[in-house]
């Protein structure tokens, strides 16, 4: 399982609190079975000579090349070369390569040196054939899988053209790490920061107003002036040390934009809306005597034609896998209940997003099914939970709890089977205490 690696940073901040370095790369590891790609080192001279010949034939590698690459687990995994760049002090043939591990999510893409690549495994005929067909028509899942095995998550609703455009534009991560409050966090994806920030490997965020800067000294100067100690907007929930703030993107435009830039570093398939006016942001914080520290957020359109009750959701990596994601999801449904509407998250869902939603839906629905000995319909479940009927159906189908009888869906709810599924669904996460939610649905003013 992915353990959270936290190593202290040098203690050079002004308030003397411990910094934490947070390594987020263990995250896919627990979802993907890693095939044993280990190969023994070849030490003899013949091998060395053949390697040199091979290097001469294939270097520098073309973009699109498929080759095996040594990963942080010290094993070899298949990658595709996404981009290459000359090394600063290298010769004309000395390149670094930006690679995508085809078995893993794009958040693990990285720059690697030549010595990580096993040149004997280079596949020279680059498979552009597959990528060239079907430019405009929607691809089947199978075709997409051929293009890139690992890239199915979150791509379901993108056609080939927009998928390619998305990947071309966002192919290389621009910012590698950020500093936010006590944490240094490795980023996952490209985010379209204004051009003047794109030459920085690291950005420094004010954890309260989310302004970002290129240098630590700028941040330190900013922290002496910044008078925010929590997100702008209204505190609509407080329970223990947890608080939720509702931020109107129209009233707090800069904050909304900063939040989107920050969030995009961890969200792959989300268009960045500069039009933050149309959204409300629900920012979850852990509060202490120094202030309210953001742990995650979700955004929500003020008016959604498609009944979306959540646009983007993020738990910052240092806080992941502690139940905050399920709290945010539960919170979004509590808001829908207060509005008297059913809701559903905006698509596509990411791999982690889908896991979290599946877990939430499963637990909520099975808890009700357990209590209701009598028959209950999907419509009734939807009314009770604010979960959209389609999502209920797909969840129960996934658990094989739906039978199709006389043209109608029927839920079969054998208590033993329910218990088994509930156990498998894992921990419940942090509870939303509805009595602590003080909120009225959004109304246009003026
Ligand atoms: N590996 C395996 N399973 C995971 C992982 C992981 N790395 N992370 C979450 N899960 C699953 C687990 O089933 C977990 O439940 P469990 O801990 O009881 O087993 C469940 O998801 C939720 O765990 P939480 O701790 O409640 O969720 P978390 O605070 O980690 O937040 C979230 C989940 C928001 C999806 C987070 O992973 C994240 O921010 N990811 C990056 C952004 C993203 O992908 N957002 C969703 C995009 S889709 C959309 O916005 C509509
Ligand atoms: Zn600030």
Ligand 1 close to Cβ of residue 411 (< 6 A): no
| Distance (Å) from CA 350 to ligand 1 centroid | 9
pLDDT score at 393: 95
Mean pLDDT calculated for residue range 80-108: 90
> Using the 8-state DSSP alphabet, how is residue 233 labeled?
S
pLDDT at 47 over 50: yes
Domain range spanning residue 65? 58-123
Kindly list the strands in the beta sheet with 234-239, ordered across the sheet, starting from the edge strand earlier in the chain: 234-239, 242-248, 279-288, 291-301, 313-315
| Ramachandran angles phi, psi of 64, nearest 5° | 105, -15
With H, G, I as helix, E, B as strand and everything else as coil, classify residue 408. Answer: strand
- Residue 5 located in a structural domain: no
Mean pLDDT calculated for residue range 314-337: 97
pLDDT at 288 over 60: yes
- Residue 316 located in a structural domain: no
CA nearest 151: which of 163, 137, 134?
A: 163
Mean pLDDT calculated for residue range 320-329: 97
pLDDT at 156 over 60: no
Cα 105 to its chain centre, rounded Å, is 10
Beta-carbon contacts of residue 376 (< 8 Å; ≥ 6 apart): 368, 369, 411
Mean pLDDT calculated for residue range 289-311: 97
pLDDT score at 349: 95
**Residue 35: CA count within 13 A, CB half-sphere:** 10
- Contact between 404 and 396 (Cβ < 8 Å): no
Q: In the chain, what percentage of residues exceed pLDDT 90?
A: 62
- Residue 397 located in a structural domain: yes
Mean pLDDT calculated for residue range 14-42: 40
Choosing from 267, 320, 324, 362 the residue with most ligand 1 atoms within 8 A of its CB, the one to mutate for a pocket test is 320
Ligand 1 close to Cβ of residue 345 (< 6 A): yes
**Distance (Å, rounded) from C-alpha 174 to C-alpha 196?**
12
CA 358 to each of CA 263, 346, 416, 424, 426: distance values in angstroms, whole numbers, following the listed order:
22, 14, 20, 12, 11
Domain count, the chain: 2
Ligand 1 close to Cβ of residue 25 (< 6 A): no
Counting ligands in written order, the one closest to the CA of 2 is 1
Boundary of a domain, candidates 94, 123, 152: 123
Mean pLDDT calculated for residue range 126-136: 40
**What ranges in 148-231 are assigned the alpha helix state H?**
160-169, 216-225
Q: H-helix or E-strand containing 119?
A: strand 117-123
- Residue 88 located in a structural domain: yes
Ligand 1 close to Cβ of residue 343 (< 6 A): no
Ligand 1 close to Cβ of residue 352 (< 6 A): yes
Cβ of 16: how many Cβ atoms within 10 Å? 7
For the segment 347-381, what is each residue's pLDDT rounded down to a tens digit?
Answer: 999 999 999 999 999 999 999 999 886 689 999 99
| Distance (Å) from CA 210 to ligand 2 centroid | 6
For the segment 184-231, what is each residue's pLDDT rounded down to a tens digit?
Answer: 999 999 999 998 998 899 999 999 999 999 999 999 999 999 999 999
- Residue 167 located in a structural domain: no
Q: What is the reported pTM?
A: 0.81
Beta-carbon contacts of residue 128 (< 8 Å; ≥ 6 apart): 64
Residue indicated by tokens 């931020």: 247
pLDDT tier at 22, thresholds 50, 70, 90:
very low
- DSSP per residue, 310-349: ES-EEE-GGGTTSSHHHHHHHHHHHHHHHHT--BEEPSSP
| Distance (Å) from CA 204 to ligand 2 centroid | 11
- Residue 408 located in a structural domain: yes
pLDDT at 275 over 90: no
Mean pLDDT calculated for residue range 272-289: 91
| Distance (Å) from CA 2 to ligand 2 centroid | 32
pLDDT score at 90: 77
CA 62 to each of CA 83, 92, 171, 406: distance values in angstroms, whole numbers, following the listed order:
8, 14, 15, 58
Choosing from 285, 356, 430, 432 the residue with most ligand 1 atoms within 8 A of its CB, the one to mutate for a pocket test is 356
Q: Which positions are catalytic?
A: 346
Mean pLDDT calculated for residue range 15-25: 40
pLDDT tier at 427, thresholds 50, 70, 90:
confident
Choosing from 29, 352, 359, 391 the residue with most ligand 1 atoms within 8 A of its CB, the one to mutate for a pocket test is 352
Boundary of a domain, candidates 108, 123, 138: 123
With H, G, I as helix, E, B as strand and everything else as coil, classify residue 139. Answer: coil
Write the CATH number for 375.
1.10.10.10
Mean pLDDT calculated for residue range 102-120: 93
- Residue 301 located in a structural domain: no
Mean pLDDT calculated for residue range 78-87: 93
Lowest mean pLDDT among 140-144, 233-237, 240-244: 140-144
Which residue did the predictor score with more confidence, 89 or 252? 252
Counting ligands in written order, the one closest to the CA of 301 is 1
- Residue 142 located in a structural domain: no
Write the CATH number for 98.
2.30.30.140
Which residue did the predictor score with more confidence, 96 or 154? 96
In this structure, which residue's CA is closest to atom 29 in ligand 1? Answer: 325
Strand partners, 96: 85
Strand partners, 178: 185, 203
pLDDT at 35 over 70: no
pLDDT tier at 36, thresholds 50, 70, 90:
very low
In this structure, which residue's CA is closest to atom 50 in ligand 1? Answer: 312
| Distance (Å) from CA 355 to ligand 1 centroid | 6
């Amino acid at each position: 399982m992915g353990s959270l690696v936290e190593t202290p940073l040098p203690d050079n901040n002004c308030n003397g609190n411990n910094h934490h370095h947070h390594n987020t790369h263990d995250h896919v590891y627990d979802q993907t079975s890693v095939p044993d790609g280990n190969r023994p080192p070849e030490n003899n001279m013949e091998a060395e000579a053949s390697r040199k010949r091979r290097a001469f034939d294939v270097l520098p590698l073309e973009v699109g090349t498929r080759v095996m690459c040594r990963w942080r687990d010290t094993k070899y995994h298949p990658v595709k070369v996404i981009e290459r760049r000359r090394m600063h002090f290298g010769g004309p043939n000395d390149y670094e390569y930006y690679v995508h591990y085809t078995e893993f999510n794009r958040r693990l893409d990285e720059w690697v040196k030549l010595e990580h690549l096993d040149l004997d495994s280079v596949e020279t005929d680059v498979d552009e054939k597959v990528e060239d067909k079907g430019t405009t028509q929607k691809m089947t899942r199978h075709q997409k899988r051929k293009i890139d095995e690992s890239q199915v998550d979150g791509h379901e609703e993108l056609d080939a053209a927009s998928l390619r455009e998305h990947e071309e534009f966002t192919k290389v991560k621009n910012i590698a790490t950020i500093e936010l409050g006590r944490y240094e966090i490795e980023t996952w994806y490209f985010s379209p920061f204004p051009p003047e920030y794109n030459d920085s490997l690291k950005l420094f965020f004010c954890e309260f107003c989310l302004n970002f800067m290129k240098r630590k000294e700028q941040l330190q100067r900013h922290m002496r002036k910044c008078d925010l100690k929590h997100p702008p907007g209204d505190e609509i929930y407080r329970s223990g040390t947890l608080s939720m703030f509702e931020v109107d993107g129209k009233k707090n435009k800069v904050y909304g934009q900063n939040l989107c830039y920050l969030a995009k570093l961890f969200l792959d398939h989300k268009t960045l809306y500069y039009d933050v006016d149309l959204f409300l942001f629900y920012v979850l914080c852990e509060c202490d005597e120094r202030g309210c520290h953001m742990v995650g957020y979700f955004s929500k359109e003020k008016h959604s034609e498609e009944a979306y009750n959540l646009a983007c959701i993020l738990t910052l990596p240092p806080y992941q896998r502690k139940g905050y994601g399920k709290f945010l999801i539960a919170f979004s449904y509590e808001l829908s209940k207060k509005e008297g509407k059913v809701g559903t998250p905006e698509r596509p869902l990411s791999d982690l997003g889908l896991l979290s939603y599946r877990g939430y839906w499963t637990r909520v629905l099975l808890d009700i099914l357990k209590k209701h000995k009598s028959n209950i319909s999907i419509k009734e479940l939807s009314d009770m939970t604010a979960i959209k009927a389609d999502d209920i159906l797909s969840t129960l189908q996934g658990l094989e709890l739906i039978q199709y009888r006389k043209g109608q869906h029927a839920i079969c709810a054998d208590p033993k089977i329910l218990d088994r599924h509930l156990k498998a669904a894992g921990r419940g996460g942090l509870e939303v205490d509805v009595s602590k939610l003080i909120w009225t649905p959004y109304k246009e003013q003026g």
